[in-house]
Amino acid sequence: MPPNITLKHLASQLGLSVTTVSRALGGFEDVSATTRERVQAYASEVGYKPNQSARRLKTGRTSSVGYIMNGAQGDFRDQFNTRLLVALGQALHDAAPEHDLIVTTVPEDRDELDTYKRFIDGGKVDSFVVARTRIQDPRVDFLLDSGIPFVTHGRTGRASEHDWVDINAADGFMRATRHLIGLGHRNILFLNFFSDLYTAVERETGYLQAMHDAGLAPSSRHCPHGYASAYQVAHEALSGANAPTAFVCASDIFAYGVMEAVSACGHTPGKDIAIIGADNLPPQMYRQPSLSTLDISFETVSQALIELVLAPQDGAPRHRCFDYDLLLRDTTA
Amino acid sequence: MPPNITLKHLASQLGLSVTTVSRALGGFEDVSATTRERVQAYASEVGYKPNQSARRLKTGRTSSVGYIMNGAQGDFRDQFNTRLLVALGQALHDAAPEHDLIVTTVPEDRDELDTYKRFIDGGKVDSFVVARTRIQDPRVDFLLDSGIPFVTHGRTGRASEHDWVDINAADGFMRATRHLIGLGHRNILFLNFFSDLYTAVERETGYLQAMHDAGLAPSSRHCPHGYASAYQVAHEALSGANAPTAFVCASDIFAYGVMEAVSACGHTPGKDIAIIGADNLPPQMYRQPSLSTLDISFETVSQALIELVLAPQDGAPRHRCFDYDLLLRDTTA
């Protein structure tokens, strides 16, 4: 028999379209039973390689790591997601060239657990990376029950029960806040994520510790993900009485919104008003002044996530924790 | 038997971890053969539902549409990709709530066809959307041979053989260029994609037609995807002799680079130098002046792509072509 029989060859021999042949072999019901049988018989006769799903069933591996974004954690337009996805994809290709990171989104009004279930039931992935973890995280509850390997980016209330990789945000935000205090700032506003996120509490802890140690009154605001909400909160704060002279931001995305608000209020970021962000997300455009930030290498974090997710084990859960670097640039001049 | 036996239940009854049970049922070889047999026997005894891959094999459907990005067409950081992915995901969820758009990337130094092959062989998707089509597109050659349904966003040299959705870019760019000529511009530089992309040739055709009709000398430059390359090309052009007074850009990403270069050269976009982009990609930050652009609804295009990809057929290939709207904003004031 020919070494490499293609669908095209089958189709031409059978006088059918390749789509019909493909769907007949796949057992799709939009091809008549007679045609399905005819195609399957001929494919078997000429030694066409068997259905690939059957082959996968035998090996039990799909060679894929899943990453599911729900509406609330942002979608493909969110820079944290896109930076993490690029680094995760690269780390996976480096560590296991035959593996794929497969990514999908869930609209905000749908239950993301249905998507996890479909990915597991459909055999699409053999593990998951779960990001932007919440303290009470239904994804973690679901995945622990399902038994499929997963690693979280960020801790949860059940951190002792699962593998995770995280950043020591409490320490990072304490150092960032202390730096601003050292520059002479006394009225420092903290723009944080909502406190269902594990890291929001960590971030706040660090900020509060530094303010407390210096005997200063803390002031925090929670913002929805995104640039515009931070712009609005900062604009209001700067326009009111007792305006802050410095901002600590849970994310660079917030920090860019603050920078724009500072400019809109007639101040110069870094000269009149100091700003520190987090995660070192590059601006889409060239931007002056440059933003001071808590930096963590997405590559380092992603390599750790991929290392754990590719080697699931039954022993005690494994944990990796990295430190932020405080990168001082123009906005803390 | 209990209506809903979970892995957790099996694990607790067998005195094993859920991971071990899950991997035993999946046939993974890191679980000993003895344990695998014991778990499988018990699961069968208590009526645990059969392996999901087997179930999928029977139905022949995976309920997923694939979208694979290779390095050359940009990754998750590319705004065209992210806008299209968000709209495609929404259109798919609206049309078929149980379906998922699954997305992956291929590093630039790898063969993207290996990834298509893995997705098909692994039964991960039942169709593909293929974007940023080239005139000679190996993905299209491969998919036509494979027989799996797919729809392209953009035509190819084999457009008559496959389903596609496209935008009439020749007409759009002709109208954009004519508008600039009507404003009195004579020296209009066109920043285009590389000409292996089908749409690059379409875009250039429209620009050349308008310049030719007006008896003006055309001048085009090809840029790699991204903001920085357009900045550099525009900066050089504006600094040289016979500097252009207007730019037509194949993408808003290029146009934002041009705006920045225009400002860096001491001009005001829209006042001294006119700019028209394409695809109406919103800037990440608030931005004045606002960019004039050729607008097409990603939602409309995505709905058409999803409609075709969800209903593969054996008849003549189906084609949908949309027109650009010329949105005049500040940069053509």
Would you say the C-alpha torsion A193, A199, A201, A202 has a positive or negative sign? negative
Q: Which of A59-63, A113-117, B154-158, B273-277 has the lowest mean pLDDT?
A: A59-63
Cis status of the peptide bond prior to A289, with omega within 30 of 0: yes
Residue B150 pLDDT class (50, 70, 90 cuts): very high
CA angle (B91, B96, B100) in 5-degree steps? 75
Give the best residue of B128, B253, B284, B298 to mutate against chain A (max A CB count within 10 A): B284
Q: Is B123 left (phi over 0), alpha (psi -120 to 50) or beta?
A: left
- Enumerate the residues of chain B whose CB falls inside 8 A of the CB of residue A60: 26-28
Q: How many helices (H) and strands (E) does chain A have?
A: 12, 12
Residues A180 and A150 in one domain: no
CB spacing of A27 vs B60 below 8 angstroms: yes
Q: Is A310 on the interface with B (CB under 8 A)?
A: no
Higher pLDDT, B148 or B15: B148
Closest by CA to A91, choosing from A73, A67, A68, is A67
Query: Which residue in chain A is spatially nearest to B65 when comparing CA positions?
Result: A104
Looking at the structure, tell me whether residues B96 and B158 fall in a common domain.
Answer: yes
What distance separates the 2 farthest-apart alpha carbons in chain B? 85
State whether B178 and B243 are in the same domain.
yes
Chain centroid to CA B37: how far?
Answer: 45
| Displacement of CA A325 from its chain's centroid (Å) | 20
Q: Does any domain span residue A209?
A: yes
For chain A, what is the domain count?
A: 3
Phi-psi region for residue A47, left (φ > 0), alpha (ψ -120 to 50) or beta? left
Average pLDDT of every residue of chain B:
89
Whether residues A237 and A160 share a domain: the answer is no
Residues A189 and A285 in one domain: yes
pLDDT of residue B330 exceeding 60, the answer is: yes
**ipTM (interface predicted TM):** 0.77
pLDDT mean over B117-126: 91
From the CA of A14, how many Å to the nearest CA of chain B? 14
**CB contact (8 A) between residue A231 and residue B7:** no
At B17, the pLDDT band (50, 70, 90 cuts) reads confident
Segments in chain B forming alpha helices (H): 7-14, 18-25, 33-45, 52-59, 79-95, 112-121, 138-146, 169-182, 198-213, 227-239, 252-264, 298-310
A69 & A122 share domain? yes
pLDDT score recorded for residue B256: 92
**Cα A38–Cα B118–Cα A58 angle in degrees, nearest 5:** 70
- Is B2 among the domain residues? no
Q: Is residue B27 part of a domain?
A: yes
Nearest CA distance, A222 vs chain B (angstrom): 20
Residues A289 and A310 in one domain: no
Q: Does residue B227 fall inside a structural domain?
A: yes
Mark whether A289 and A304 lie in a shared domain.
no
Average pLDDT over residues A147-173: 97
Q: Each residue of A40-78: pLDDT tens digit? A: 888 888 877 644 444 344 344 558 999 999 877 778 888
Angstrom distance (rounded) from CA A150 to CA B18 = 13
Query: Is residue B1 domain-resident?
Result: no
Compute φ and ψ for A249, nearest 5 degrees: -120, 135
DSSP state of A288: S
* Within-domain flag for A2: no
Mean pLDDT throughout A139-165?
96
- One-letter amino acid at A60 equals G
Q: Which residue in the set A64, A90, A145 is minimally distant from B124, CB to CB?
A: A64
The answer to whether the beta carbons of residues B14 and B38 sit under 8 Å apart is yes
The answer on B173 and B122 residing in a single domain is no
B314: Cβ–Cβ under 8 A, 6 or more apart, which residues? Answer: A17, A19, A20
Give the domain CATH number at A17.
1.10.260.40
Helix, strand, coil % over all residues of chain B, rounded to 5: 45, 20, 35
Residue with tokens 């987090």: A278
A123 pLDDT band (50/70/90 cuts)?
Answer: confident
Assess if residue B174 is contained within a domain: yes
Cα–Cα distance, A228 to A206 (Å, whole number):
25
The reported pLDDT for the residue numbered A33 is 82
Where residue B317 sits, what CATH number does that domain have? 3.40.50.2300
Q: Do A223 and A194 share a domain, yes or no?
A: yes
Of B248, B198, B252, which is closest to residue B225 (Cα–Cα)?
B252
Spatial CA neighbour of A147 closest among A137, A133, A161: A161
Judging contacts by C-beta atoms under 8 Å, the chain A residues touching residue B106 are 93
CA nearest to B192, candidates B159, B166, B218, B153: B218
The Cα B298–Cα B11 span in angstroms is 47
Range of the domain at B12: 7-59
- Domain co-membership, A218 together with A194: yes
Mean pLDDT for the stretch of residues B42-51: 71
Domain boundary among B59, B74, B101: B59
Residues B162 and B310 both lie in one domain: yes
Name the minimum distance, in Å, from the CA of A61 to any CA of chain B. 8
B279: left (phi over 0), alpha (psi -120 to 50) or beta: left
Quote the CA–CA distance of B14 and B23 in Å, as a whole number.
Answer: 14
**Is residue B150 a contact partner of residue B129, using CB atoms and an 8 Å limit?**
yes
Would you state the pLDDT for residue B1? 38
Q: Is A1 part of a structural domain of the chain?
A: no
Q: For residue B210, give the nearest of B326, B333, B329, B328 by alpha carbon.
A: B326
